[in-house]
Amino acid sequence: MGVHVYTAAQSLNEMFAQYPSSSFSNSWHCGHHASGNREGAVRFNNVTIPKNTPIISAQLNVYVGAKGSGSGDLKYIMYGIDEDNTADYSSSPMARTGTTASTTSQVSVPSMGNYFPINVTSIVQEIVDRSGWASGNNMGFKIFNNSSPTDVWFFESYLTPNSNLEVVWDESSPSSSQSPSSSVSPSPSLSPSRSSSLSDSPSPSPLAPFLGIKIAKPGKNVLLSNNPTDMIFDSDYGTLKYFDKQTKTVTISSGNLGATATIDHNLGYYPFVEVFIKVEGFNKYEYCPFAGAGATVFYDANYKITTSQIVLYAQTTGFASDTDFDFLVFIYKNNLKL
């Protein structure tokens, strides 16, 4: 007997979110919002259950990426999509034929970053018993609101897919020997976890093997979360790569309106840049571009980025003497690709 875990892919069209007057293929949800019902669907790829295998248990662990602030339980009805190999959700799956089996239940939606389980044993059994089902096919589920209280809902984005389908079957049975098991055994991440306790999810299910480095924030579980905001570092996500810091003072001579100066970076592309500025007489750095004023003065600053330089500009009115603008420029190696 083995535990097999399948997680939704991190790509568009694997989830579907139906709103009262619109829909998106970048997330899924269910419940009741002030603007109306929210319903959705999720698809799992390459579900390696042999045809006609007796299912011991199947559970869809729903990840709460966001939730409503209402009170009371989420009430829902879940169906499987009764197809041999469910197509992706580039078109709405909500009207596709549903399984006869369904799950009607209610749950107190846990806090963000946690899971709640949906028993889908009968649903999964019905799908794998289809004459056209084959191991490795795609399996889909759709969920409908069932009179949930106002503002009680859950939401998950495709950018941080954590919901998973956990299936247990007897691998010694004749029908399950037709194809090799490709179960995803739970395995810890390669990096030391900073968390000291497991999530209080009712059914914590380890994620698929991860090849990279993740370091969880205190109180977060590196083994259970795919949410980048739970991580101090996650090699699945880029960071701003600090390259250089430069300062430049631009002086506007009295009688002139403006001044300019340049800083060289010579990266050969347009880099991500952050610029701060301090105007003489005002002892604080402000984010640039900006404009400010005093009782009788006006000043503003701007900049532009070329593939070799940061060009700084400053201008003023009302200053009686030379005025210094102190620019502080942070240059990152991140290419803007423009």
Partner 1 sequence: MSQVIKVAKIGKDIRSTDPNDFVFHSDYNTFKIIKEATKNVTLVASTTNQTFTEAHGLDHILPLVHAFAKRSGVSQVFAPNGLDVESFGFKLGYSGDIKFNYVASDETNVIFNFDNDKGSNVDVSIRYFLLEHIL
Binding site for partner 1 (CB under 8 A): 17, 24, 26-27, 29, 65-66, 155, 157-159, 191-192, 194, 215, 217, 228-229, 231-234, 237-240, 253, 256-260, 270, 272-273, 275, 288-290, 302-307, 311, 313, 315, 334, 336-338
Per the CB < 8 A criterion, the answer to whether 6 and 44 are in contact is yes
Listed as own residue / partner, the contacts of 286-292 with beta carbons closer than 8 Å and 24 or more positions apart are 288/327
Rounded distance between C-alpha atoms, residue 223 and residue 115, angstroms: 13
What are the residues facing 152 on neighbouring strands? 32
Residue type for 106, please?
Answer: Q
Q: How far is the CB of 248 from partner 1 (least distance, A)?
A: 16
Query: With respect to partner 1, which residue has the nearer C-beta, 270 or 285?
Result: 270
Rounded distance between C-alpha atoms, residue 302 and residue 286, angstroms: 12
**104 CB neighbour count, 10 Å cutoff:** 10
Query: With respect to partner 1, which residue has the nearer C-beta, 132 or 320?
Result: 320
Q: How far is the CB of 209 from partner 1 (least distance, A)?
A: 21
Rounded distance between C-alpha atoms, residue 36 and residue 32, angstroms: 6
Query: With respect to partner 1, which residue has the nearer C-beta, 26 or 173?
Result: 26
Query: With respect to partner 1, which residue has the nearer C-beta, 12 or 107?
Result: 12
Residue type for 175, please?
Answer: S
Bond before 289 cis per omega within 30 degrees: yes
Query: With respect to partner 1, which residue has the nearer C-beta, 173 or 290?
Result: 290
Query: With respect to partner 1, which residue has the nearer C-beta, 108 or 317?
Result: 317
Rounded distance between C-alpha atoms, residue 65 and residue 163, angstroms: 10
**296 CB neighbour count, 10 Å cutoff:** 9
Tell me the C-alpha to C-alpha distance, in Å, between residue 323 and each of 41, 208, 255.
Answer: 61, 60, 11
Q: How far is the CB of 99 from partner 1 (least distance, A)?
A: 27
Per the CB < 8 A criterion, the answer to whether 130 and 82 are in contact is yes
Q: How far is the CB of 256 from partner 1 (least distance, A)?
A: 5
Q: How far is the CB of 315 from partner 1 (least distance, A)?
A: 4
Q: How far is the CB of 29 from partner 1 (least distance, A)?
A: 8
Per the CB < 8 A criterion, the answer to whether 325 and 279 are in contact is yes
Q: How far is the CB of 92 from partner 1 (least distance, A)?
A: 17
Query: With respect to partner 1, which residue has the nearer C-beta, 284 or 337?
Result: 337
